[in-house]
Amino acid sequence: MIFSTCITLQVPFSFITASIYRFCSVVYYNKNLFKTKQWVFICIVCQWIFGLLMTLPVLLGIQPYCVTSQWVEIYKLIFIVIVPSIVFLILNIFIYATVRSSSHRIQPSSLSVMGNTSRNVQQERMSRRDIHLLRHMIIMFLIFIGGWTPLYALFAIQSQVLANPMLSKCFTIWSYFRTIISCKRGYGFQNSKFDYLVVDKYLQGGEVMAFARDGTRIRHTIKKEINDLTHNREGLISMNIKTMRFGITLGPMPIFDNNKTQVIFGEIETRMKIIQVINARGIHHDGTGVRRAIEAYVVDDDFHADAPLDLVSIGDTRPSAGDVGGQPIDNVVIYTCGQRN
């Protein structure tokens, strides 16, 4: 990214360098330095040095996992399009004004030597040269603006308006979740069940029984990630950093926010009505017609992770923790999953 930004900056800076070279040659035509090859070399070296220096701030915007801060695209728009355009326009206006004034200064001497006929020819020749120069400047400026502005303006707008703020706040666990749904680790959520429902609270699923060659169960611990997103509405997807199980909220769940290992990493965009229907159908009851009691009792062994979303069936031997749930009445299976194109 740094290399590509540096190379891209050289394109508009080459326009600026050419304009500076031409400006000095026209305005300071009596200076010997601006007529030498050394001046060309100085312009090229300064162009690259300035381009490298302007690339350095981009380093500050690079976050872990190759994510860039939103201000980086705005920075590129400013220094690849806006600033070079302004400098390019100002320099060429000065060049045109200098050439124009020079044309007017040449006219009187021409008139004194040549007659009225030669005066008209000289004036027409000067006018044509000015018009040609102005036309050339306008075309070059429009090509420059038209070629670069749409691309970097789109990037800047996308980073501010279209970018999902939730993604930037929970990229670590989102990346981990993506590797599972895409079977990058050799196993995934396909054909696993949503096997736990607390009515009007949350629906949990994604239990994956993956084992290593020696028979031990595969468990993952993701680098702890904390963001300011809260379980304040339905349709939010959260996961514990020590488990592959994930839950979908069916309403506000402030209790999850008290657990520092529970992280929101997404939300349901469409078809939330399906989840609502599953919630409305409720959970299975035991033979007595009473809901099978499941307490939010946290354990940490080979089959459960230390997280509120991993609950243990304890029957009637222990008091309920308040939020009682169980297996949904409907058999809810993740039929297919993967990355959407």
Residue 190: CATH number of its domain: 2.40.100.10
Q: pLDDT digit string (tens) for 205-238?
A: 877 666 666 766 666 655 555 667 788 889 998 8
Backbone phi and psi for residue 248, each to the nearest 5 degrees, phi listed first: -115, 125
Inside any domain, residue 127: yes
Q: 86 or 188: which carries more pLDDT confidence?
A: 86
- Residue 40 near residue 33 (C-beta atoms within 8 A): no
Most confident option among 46-60, 166-180, 224-238, 303-317: 46-60
Query: Is a pLDDT exceeding 60 seen at residue 198?
Result: yes
Q: 262 or 320: which carries more pLDDT confidence?
A: 262
- Residue 10 near residue 47 (C-beta atoms within 8 A): yes
Q: How far does CA 303 lie from the centroid of its chain?
A: 37
Instruction: Pick the closest to residue 153 from 237, 74, 56 (CA basis).
Output: 74
Q: Both 138 and 175 in a single domain?
A: no
- pLDDT above 90 as % of the chain: 3
pLDDT at res. 317: 37
- In the structure, what pLDDT confidence band is assigned to residue 316 with cuts at 50, 70 and 90? very low
Boundaries of domain holding 253: 171-313
Query: Is a pLDDT exceeding 50 seen at residue 118?
Result: yes
Inside any domain, residue 338: no
Q: Both 176 and 146 in a single domain?
A: no
By three-state DSSP, how is residue 211 classified? strand
Q: Both 123 and 178 in a single domain?
A: no
Q: Both 152 and 7 in a single domain?
A: yes
- In the structure, what pLDDT confidence band is assigned to residue 291 with cuts at 50, 70 and 90? very low
pLDDT at res. 42: 92
Burial of 76 (0-12, 13-18, 19+ CB in 10 A): buried
By three-state DSSP, how is residue 238 classified? strand
Query: Is a pLDDT exceeding 80 seen at residue 65?
Result: no
Helix-strand-coil split of the chain, %, nearest 5:
50, 10, 35
Q: Both 302 and 235 in a single domain?
A: yes
Query: Is a pLDDT exceeding 70 seen at residue 141?
Result: yes
Average pLDDT (170-186) is 68
CB count within 10 Å of CB 245 equals 22
DSSP-H helix ranges across the chain = 2-27, 37-60, 70-77, 83-113, 116-157, 165-169, 171-181, 254-257, 272-281
> What's the Cα-to-Cα distance from 32 to each of 35, 43, 96, 315, rounded to whole Å?
5, 15, 22, 96
pLDDT at res. 113: 47
Residues β-bridged to residue 198: 202
The type of residue at 259 is: N
Q: Both 300 and 181 in a single domain?
A: yes
pLDDT at res. 121: 53
Q: 85 or 306: which carries more pLDDT confidence?
A: 85
